[in-house]
C-alpha cells in the first residue's frame, strides 16, 4: 500500500504579500490628494464610487450614469527654453584654417536649444447624471471640480456655459469642490470663508441654493441630494466615500507623507498637518 504525501499547505496570496491598508490620517479632506499627481485618479474613483452607491439607493426609479466631457487644451507655456542638447541635434560644421598651420579645423556653428512644444492635450473629465428610468430625463447633475474648471482658460469657459444651461433648466445641480487652489466658481461674501465648497441647487428653489463652506480641519459635511420635487432627498456621506476611495486606491502606499503638501498650506494648517502625521508614527 502506497501512501500519498500530504498535500502542501499554501497560505492565500494575501497572507504573504498584502499589506493591510492604513486609513487616511485626516478626519476630513486629505490635502495630499489635491496634488496634481494624484487628483486625476482620485476624481475617477470618486465619480465611480458615488455612482455605485447612488445606483443602489435610487433604483428602480432612477439610474445614475457616468458621463465624460472632453477638453482640448494646450499647456500654459507655449515654448519652454531648455539646456542645449548636442546629442539630439547637431548643426552643420564650417571649416576654417588655423593661422599656425594649413590644417582645416572643424568649428561648430551656434548650437541648438532643446525646447518643449505646446502640444494640444485631450483631457477627459467624468461627471454624473441622475436620470429617470423610462424617460431618460436628467433630474440631477453632479460635478466634481478639477483644476481645468478652476483655472482661467478655455476649460473654465466651457464649464461655465454648461453650468448656466443647467441653472436655466429644470435639472437640479450639485457641485463639489475639494481643491484649495484655483479660482472659485462661487463669488462668496467676504464673511463666508472655506477651503472647500459643496453647492446644492434644487431646481425648484432657484435662485436660492445651499452652500457648504468648510476647511481642511473640518469633516466633510453630509448633504442632501435633490431629486424630483415629489421625491424625498437622500443623504450623501461624501466623507465616508472619500475614505473608501483612499483605501481602495491604496493611497497609503502611494503618498509619501515626508514630502510637503502641494499646493502649499497656510502656516496654521501646516502645523496641524504635522501634528496629525506625527501621531501616526
> Are 181 and 152 contained in the same domain?
yes
In this prediction, residue 100 carries a pLDDT of 52
> Are 223 and 266 contained in the same domain?
yes
Q: Does the predicted TM-score (pTM) go above 0.75? A: yes
From 60, 87, 117, give the residue that closes a domain: 117
> Are 25 and 139 contained in the same domain?
yes
Rounded-to-integer distance, Cα 173 and Cα 163, Å? 9
* 219 assigned to some structural domain: yes
* 10 assigned to some structural domain: no
From 117, 143, 174, give the residue that closes a domain: 117
**3-state secondary structure string, the chain?**
CCCCCCCCCCCCHHHHHCCCCCCCCCCCCCHHHHCHHHHHHHHHHHHHHHHHHHHHHHCCCEEEEEEEEEEEEECCCCEEECCCCCCCCCCCEEEEECCCCCCEEEEECCCCCCEEECCEEEEEEEEEEEEECCCCCEEEEEEECCHHHHCCCHHHHHHHHHHHHHHCCCCEEEEEECCCCCCCCCCCCCCCCCCEEEEEECHHHCCCCEEEEECCCCCCCCEEECCCCCCCCEEECHHHHHHHHHHHCCHHHHCCCCCCCCCCCCHHHHHHHHHHHHHHC
> Are 42 and 107 contained in the same domain?
no
Domain count, the chain: 2
> Are 196 and 253 contained in the same domain?
yes
Q: Band the pLDDT of 233: cuts 50, 70, 90.
A: confident
pLDDT tens across 118-158, in order? Answer: 677 777 889 999 999 999 999 999 999 999 999 988 889 99
Identify the residue with better confidence: 77 or 252.
252
Identify the residue with better confidence: 85 or 256.
256
> Are 43 and 98 contained in the same domain?
no
In this prediction, residue 265 carries a pLDDT of 97
Give 76's contacts (C-beta < 8 A, 6+ positions apart).
Answer: none
What residue has cell string 425648484? 204
pLDDT tens across 12-50, in order? Answer: 545 444 567 799 999 999 999 999 999 999 999 999 999
* 15 assigned to some structural domain: no
Identify the residue with better confidence: 244 or 88.
244
> Are 180 and 276 contained in the same domain?
yes
* 5 assigned to some structural domain: no
> Are 34 and 104 contained in the same domain?
no
> Are 165 and 109 contained in the same domain?
no
* 230 assigned to some structural domain: yes
Structural domain harbouring 237: 21-70+126-280
* 9 assigned to some structural domain: no
What residue has cell string 486606491? 249
In this prediction, residue 117 carries a pLDDT of 76
> Are 97 and 132 contained in the same domain?
no
Least confident window among 115-129, 199-213, 217-231, 259-273: 115-129
* 243 assigned to some structural domain: yes
In this prediction, residue 75 carries a pLDDT of 55
Q: Is the pLDDT of residue 81 over 60?
A: no
Identify the residue with better confidence: 3 or 128.
128
> Are 131 and 227 contained in the same domain?
yes
* 261 assigned to some structural domain: yes
> Are 101 and 185 contained in the same domain?
no
Range 147-174 average pLDDT: 93
Amino acid at each position: 500500500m502506497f501512501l500519498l504525501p500530504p498535500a502542501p499547505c499554501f497560505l492565500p496570496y494575501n497572507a504573504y504579500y498584502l499589506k493591510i491598508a492604513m486609513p487616511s490620517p485626516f478626519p476630513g479632506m486629505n490635502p495630499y490628494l489635491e496634488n496634481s499627481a494624484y487628483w486625476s485618479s482620485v476624481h475617477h474613483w470618486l465619480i465611480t464610487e458615488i455612482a455605485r452607491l447612488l445606483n443602489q439607493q435610487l433604483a428602480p426609479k432612477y439610474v445614475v450614469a457616468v458621463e465624460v466631457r472632453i477638453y482640448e487644451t494646450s499647456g500654459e507655456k507655449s515654448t519652454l527654453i531648455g539646456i542645449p542638447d548636442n546629442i539630439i541635434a547637431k548643426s552643420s560644421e564650417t571649416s576654417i584654417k588655423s593661422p599656425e598651420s594649413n590644417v582645416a579645423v572643424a568649428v561648430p556653428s551656434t548650437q541648438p536649444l532643446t525646447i518643449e512644444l505646446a502640444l494640444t492635450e485631450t483631457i477627459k473629465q467624468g461627471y454624473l447624471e441622475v436620470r429617470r428610468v423610462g424617460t431618460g430625463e436628467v433630474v440631477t447633475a453632479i460635478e466634481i471640480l478639477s483644476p481645468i474648471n478652476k483655472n482661467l482658460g478655455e476649460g473654465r469657459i466651457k464649464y461655465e456655459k454648461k453650468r448656466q444651461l443647467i441653472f436655466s433648466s429644470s435639472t437640479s445641480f450639485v457641485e463639489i469642490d475639494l481643491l484649495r487652489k484655483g479660482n472659485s466658481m462661487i463669488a462668496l461674501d467676504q464673511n463666508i470663508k472655506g477651503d472647500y465648497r459643496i453647492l446644492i441647487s434644487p431646481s425648484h428653489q432657484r435662485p436660492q441654493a445651499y452652500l457648504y463652506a468648510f476647511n481642511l480641519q473640518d469633516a466633510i459635511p453630509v448633504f442632501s441630494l435633490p431629486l424630483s420635487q415629489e421625491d424625498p432627498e437622500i443623504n450623501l456621506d461624501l466623507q465616508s466615500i472619500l475614505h473608501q476611495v483612499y483605501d481602495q486606491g491604496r493611497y497609503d502606499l502611494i503618498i509619501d507623507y515626508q514630502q510637503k503638501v502641494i499646493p502649499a498650506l497656510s502656516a496654521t494648517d501646516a502645523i496641524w498637518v504635522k501634528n496629525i502625521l506625527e501621531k501616526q508614527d
